[in-house]
């Protein structure tokens, strides 16, 4: 008897299989992005469909991966985005791509969850990139340790970066216990070096020769064993869909237009966050404060993170934007200002406290107080923000501190920690009239309902009353 019609079991989309690899390293700064982008560019310019992902929270590396692939790059994080989201995105990518590349985060086993956790969960073979510029035999020990530290970790091989010569490359290859693990070497070469600054890599969009750098790296990789492997000989991975597909989002922002700042000063935007806003029914209108764009007619404003400190003089001089934002707030319309976006809303932004002389820029003045850049990292790691009964997941990463008379309305908490207004581990969440602001970067899909609150669909309901909270000094 056919019982399929009444079968209540969860439905899955069809699994998809394609070539896939996770590019990791023993530490940050080893060259993961260079290798991942070079491999993507090499196959993309040969006419293959390549999709890339970034493990963990990151806004900058994805710029390079997107340039290499010509497609949006999403984050995969077993905590922030969730396993079901990761699984859904990987399966969808594999269904349309010839090659899926995932760039790891920090060192292979660093963080909770780590890149190794992601590789193990989804069967992604690990290609280890090791900066070998000052080693020989130790290269083999390091490669062996990465491969065998966690039994059963899927493995694809090892590639040496910043190698001095062919002789040096030969020494590194000979140091491996299994020569078949050798995927080649890249030299230290200024033609494909990716410049960095305090928050990470310089965005690809800021360099006129960004594509030329990727092509130079791809040219060299093409001569290495990894670059010469036919696509059919790269590891093939089967990706299953989640047992339960995501439910359609309730259109809590239907009929609302959200104006979003997007330029070199405000570039930290997850493409997935834009997708959530659209799924919630919002119309998106982008503008560039640096280009002198007027604030679009809108119901709410989003000022994302970025580098306002690098463009403070231009932002300070944009009097029309200052006036437009003031009028927007005076009309009671919501503003969500995230990290760099929040920095731009304070009265002043100062350069490093120990710089001589210290330069202070007058900014847009919707929040009272001053932001000061510093050389030491002030906030880093996963965070979550509770708004009423809903919780947004995300992260923090900044090199500035703020002094303000505002009392935080709430504070974020680390994963697994109890959120408390007085807990110094979390980032302040300010509510000042219709302005909501924090150093916290939100992953909107973790709570569409809380996201809708940020943009005015309903009153923001912080988890606790913070009327007596002291000034934030983080």
Q: How many angstroms separate the CA atoms of 36 and 64, rounded?
A: 9
> How crowded is residue 129: how many other Cβ atoms within 10 Å of its Cβ?
26
User: Token digits for 201?
Assistant: 């890599």
Q: Using alpha carbons only, give the angle 277, 278, 279 rounded to the nearest 5 degrees.
A: 90
In sequence order, the 6+-apart residues with CB closer than 8 A to the CB of 93 are 51, 53, 100, 239
Would you list the DSSP string of 94-158?
Answer: HHH-SEEEEE--SSTT-SSS-HHHHHHHHT--EEEEEE-TT-STHHHHHHHHHHHSSTT--EEEE
Residues forming the active site: 339
User: Token digits for 112?
Assistant: 């909770």
> How crowded is residue 206: how many other Cβ atoms within 10 Å of its Cβ?
15
Q: Tokens 């890599």 — which residue?
A: 201
Closest alpha carbon to 86 in 75, 99, 97, 100: 75
Q: By the 8 A CB rule, do 31 and 217 touch?
A: no
Q: How many angstroms separate the CA atoms of 437 and 458, rounded?
A: 16
Q: Tokens 């040096």 — which residue?
A: 168
> How crowded is residue 15: how many other Cβ atoms within 10 Å of its Cβ?
12
Burial of 35 (0-12, 13-18, 19+ CB in 10 A): buried
Torsional class of 253: left (φ above 0), alpha (ψ -120 to 50), beta (otherwise): alpha
Helices assigned H by DSSP within 45-111: 61-69, 83-96
Q: In what order do the strands lie in the sheet with 367-373?
A: 360-362, 346-350, 367-373, 400-403
């Amino acid at each position: 008897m056919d019982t399929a019609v009444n079968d209540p079991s969860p439905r899955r989309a069809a699994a998809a299989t394609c070539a896939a690899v996770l590019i990791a390293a023993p530490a940050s700064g080893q060259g993961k992005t260079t290798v991942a982008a070079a491999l993507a560019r090499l196959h993309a310019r040969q006419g293959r469909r390549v999709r890339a992902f970034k493990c963990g929270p990151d806004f900058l590396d994805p710029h390079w991966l997107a340039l290499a692939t010509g497609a949006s790059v999403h984050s995969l994080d077993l905590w922030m985005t969730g396993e079901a989201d990761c699984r859904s995105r990987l399966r969808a990518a594999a269904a349309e791509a010839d090659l899926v590349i995932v760039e790891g985060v920090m060192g292979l086993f660093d963080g909770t969850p780590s890149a190794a956790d992601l590789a193990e969960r989804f069967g992604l073979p690990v290609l280890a990139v090791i900066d070998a510029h000052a080693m020989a035999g130790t290269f083999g020990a390091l490669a062996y340790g990465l491969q065998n530290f966690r039994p059963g970790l899927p493995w694809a091989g090892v590639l040496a970066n910043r190698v001095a010569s062919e002789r040096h490359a030969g020494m590194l290859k000979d140091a491996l216990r299994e020569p078949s693990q050798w995927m080649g070497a890249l030299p230290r070469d200024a033609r494909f070096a990716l410049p960095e600054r305090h928050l990470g890599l310089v965005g690809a969009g800021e360099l006129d020769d960004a594509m030329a750098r990727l092509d130079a790296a791809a040219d060299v990789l093409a001569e290495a064993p990894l670059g010469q492997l036919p696509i059919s000989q790269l590891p093939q991975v089967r990706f299953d869909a989640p047992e339960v597909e995501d439910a359609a989002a309730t259109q809590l922002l239907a009929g609302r237009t959200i104006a979003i700042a997007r330029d070199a000063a405000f570039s930290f935007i997850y493409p997935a966050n834009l997708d959530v806003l659209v799924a919630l029914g919002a119309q998106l209108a982008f503008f560039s404060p640096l280009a002198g764009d007027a604030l679009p007619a809108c119901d709410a404003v989003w000022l994302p993170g970025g580098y306002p400190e690098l463009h403070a003089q231009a932002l300070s001089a944009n009097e029309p934007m200052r006036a437009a934002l003031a009028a927007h707030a005076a009309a009671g319309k919501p503003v969500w200002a995230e990290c760099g976006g929040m920095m731009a809303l304070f009265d002043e932004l100062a350069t490093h406290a120990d710089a001589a002389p210290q330069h202070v820029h007058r900014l847009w003045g919707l929040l009272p107080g001053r932001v000061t850049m510093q050389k030491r990292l002030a906030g880093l790691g996963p965070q979550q923000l509770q708004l009423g009964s809903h919780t947004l997941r995300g992260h923090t990463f900044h090199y500035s501190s703020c002094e303000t008379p505002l009392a935080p309305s709430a504070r974020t908490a680390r994963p697994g920690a109890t959120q408390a207004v007085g807990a110094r581990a979390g980032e302040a969440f300010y509510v000042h009239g219709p302005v909501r602001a924090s150093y916290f970067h939100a992953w909107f899909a973790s709570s569409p309902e809380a996201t809708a609150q940020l943009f005015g669909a309903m009153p923001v309901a912080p988890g606790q009353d913070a009327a007596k909270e002291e000034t934030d000094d983080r």
